[in-house]
Amino acid sequence: MIIVVCTRTTRFDVNDLPSLCLSRLPSRCIDTQVVFSLRDPALVFSFCLLSISLHCCVCWCSSFLSFPFYLHKMIVTITGAAGQVAYSLLAMIAAGELYGPETHVVLRLLDLEMALQVLEGVREELQDSVYPLLDGVEITSDARAAFAGADMVLMCGAFPRRQGMERQDLLQVNKAIFMEQGAVLGEVAAPGCRVVVVGNPANTNALVLLHAAKGRIDPRHVTALTRLDHNRAAGLLAARAGVHVRAVRNCIVWGNHNTTQVPDVTNATIDGRAAREAIADEAFLDTTFPQQVRLRGQDIIRLRGKSAALSTGKAIIDHARDWLAGTPEGVMVSMAVYSAGNPYGIPEDLIFSFPCTCKDGEWTIVPGLDVSTIQEGLRATADERGGGEEAGGEPLARAREARRYQVARLRRDKQLRAIIT
């Protein structure tokens, strides 16, 4: 707290004050502008003393009661928090990259019971990292405790596809997870809670979650991550054009986060020029580039031996921060959002990636873009609904059964790992 005292004994012109000192401070720093004309020095010092005591009192009360009326504090829940994507994400949130440098955060880490020991290790690492904005780390395997009152839920917890596992099996297992967690989230989430679904198949899982919440979560508050594909597309275009990635704008990825997605350069610009003009290579833009974007994840697995985690964490932050803080003027981003009322004729009741802008914590699908060259691709990716439409009627008992199957598989894998090592 800074108290500014202007001493001027003859004439005190209040209009001087803003130009002298207040204008040097960001306006959000000034809670109350108190302007006094005090001629008596004793009165000035009494005023200062009173202000300091009041400030100390408020600080003491807020720390003693752990009550966030003085410091702004957000609760961020991460599911699958013992996984590799979460590991790359936590440091960024703790450092303030999601809510900015003036907002304190509490991290709630949810994973399966058998992963709690890993979470203990993560908590210790976060403690050792001494993040000034990190007010607490809570770990749990109970979804209800994890979601209660959360402001943002980042859902990375999902069952990975194993060798020999059919796509349909993966869908069923993950559908069970998102049905169960969606139902709980619907019951206990804070009214303005924002949800980002990352676990694959992300679009389907997000829709399953929304249906399972039975109308208790605003569909506008549930999104799925296609920002990784969006960022990959920008990076690949920049590399081809030989420019820095910040020169690339508005390359959009439509549809599902999988190989049916539609990377679209129609409205993309590179250094302010149309991408088709800057990269005058139709064969690359229409065939090679979309394939590169779609297969980038597999490329990374081939090279790294593991799926992308670093870039996924960054993409989650980009997605969530733009959603909350707004997109820059003239910039659209790819976000998988609820399709109801969309201006492109995509069927209703899907979570589908569209070009979006964000303002005041809400997204808007950018209308009026030319989609004539990608119509066929849009139809194909929209047709591949992945079973999400069945979500509403599925009994939770089946979800629990699938979860038991999942836990049994994880235990078996753990035992196998123990035997091998």
Closest separation between CB of residue 31 and ligand NAD, Å?
40
Nearest to 7 by CA among 39, 42, 48: 39
Residues in the chain: 421
Q: Examine the residue annotation and report whether 221 is marked as an active-site residue of this protein.
A: no
Residue 367 in the binding site for ligand NAD (CB under 6 A): no
Residue 156 in the binding site for ligand NAD (CB under 6 A): yes
Residue 200 in the binding site for ligand NAD (CB under 6 A): yes
Q: Which one of 97, 111, 151, 264 is in contact with ligand NAD (CB under 6 A)?
A: 111
**CA-atom Rg of the chain in angstroms:** 25
Residues in region 251-270 near ligand NAD by CB under 6 A:
257
Q: Which stretch binds ligand NAD (CB under 6 A): 43-51, 122-130, 197-205, 232-240?
A: 197-205
Closest separation between CB of residue 304 and ligand NAD, Å?
11
Contacts of 21 (CB under 8 A, 6+ apart): 4, 6
Cβ proximity to ligand NAD: between 115 and 171 the closer is 115
Catalytic residue, from 211, 221, 230, 257: name it.
257
Cβ proximity to ligand NAD: between 181 and 327 the closer is 181
Note whether 138 and 109 are within 8 A (CB): yes
Total residues at interface with ligand NAD (CB under 6 A): 28
Supply the DSSP string of 174-220, one letter for each residue. Answer: HHHHHHHHHHHHHHH--TT-EEEE-SSSHHHHHHHHHHHTTTSS-GG
Closest separation between CB of residue 150 and ligand NAD, Å?
14
Q: Minimal CB distance to ligand NAD: which residue?
A: 83
Q: Residue 403 has which token pair?
A: 């979860």
Cis peptide before 201 (omega within 30 of 0): yes
Backbone φ and ψ of 125, nearest 5°: -65, -40
Residue type, 376: E
Provide the β-strand partners of residue 106. Answer: 75, 136
Q: To which residue do tokens 């979804």 refer?
A: 143
Residue 173 in the binding site for ligand NAD (CB under 6 A): no
Binding site for ligand NAD (CB under 6 A): 79-80, 82-86, 110-112, 115, 156-160, 177, 198-200, 202, 225, 228, 257, 307-309, 312
Which residues are catalytically annotated? 257
